[in-house]
């Protein structure tokens, strides 16, 4: 595991996170799109900082006691070092501490790396959205982790 710190997203991270987006998605969020989340009261974004720069992030939106993950991404050269796991654990801890009922997300069916990441944290496939993604068109799995069970 690489040495990282996890910080709440702030304006100083935005340019570097726009680069993470560029390198991670066919339809990346823009600088302005990320910046707008700073003013979104329902948004919770955590940033992983390594070697003095933002190398990954997780962002989710809250509605009452529900959390919807919008994105999680890590710069390619920093992958497979446990950074997404640390970010996801941070989001899960936040949800548990704040009494959330569940945390959920959509993921491309073909994104086996991300599906494996979520399964590692006990997310379950609870449904599928047809043609949810474009560029290329693809179905999404809906994956959800419920809190409040006997072992949670």
Q: Which residues bind ligand COA (CB under 6 A)?
A: 24, 72-74, 79-85, 107, 111, 113-114, 116-117, 120
Of the pair 13, 81, the CB lying nearest ligand COA is at 81
Residue least distant from ligand COA (Cβ) = 84
Q: Which two tokens stand for residue 146?
A: 């419920």
**Smallest distance, Å, CB 26 to ligand COA?**
10
Question: Beta-strand (E) ranges in the chain?
Answer: 5-8, 43-50, 53-63, 66-74, 102-108, 124-133, 138-146
Is 106 a catalytic site residue? Answer: yes
Is 7 a catalytic site residue? Answer: no
Catalytic residue selected from 78, 118, 133, 141: 118
Q: Which two tokens stand for residue 93?
A: 């801890």
Gap between the Cα atoms of 84 and 61, Å rounded: 18
Of the pair 66, 82, the CB lying nearest ligand COA is at 82
| Tokens 């910046």 found at | 35
**Residues belonging to the active site:** 106, 118
């Amino acid at each position: 595991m690489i040495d990282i710190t996890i910080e709440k997203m702030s304006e100083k991270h935005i340019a570097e996170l726009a680069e993470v987006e560029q390198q991670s998605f066919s339809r990346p969020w823009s600088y302005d799109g990320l910046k707008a989340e700073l003013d979104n009261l329902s948004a919770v974004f955590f940033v992983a900082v390594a070697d003095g720069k933002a190398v990954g992030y997780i962002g989710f939106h809250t509605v009452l006691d529900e959390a919807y993950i919008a994105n999680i991404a890590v710069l390619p050269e920093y992958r497979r070092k446990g950074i997404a796991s640390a970010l996801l654990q941070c989001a899960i801890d936040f949800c548990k501490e704040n009494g959330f009922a569940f945390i959920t997300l959509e993921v491309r069916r073909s994104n086996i790396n991300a599906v494996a990441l979520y399964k590692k944290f006990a997310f379950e496939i609870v449904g599928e959205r047809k043609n949810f993604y474009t560029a290329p068109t693809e179905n999404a799995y809906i994956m959800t982790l419920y809190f409040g069970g006997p072992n949670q």
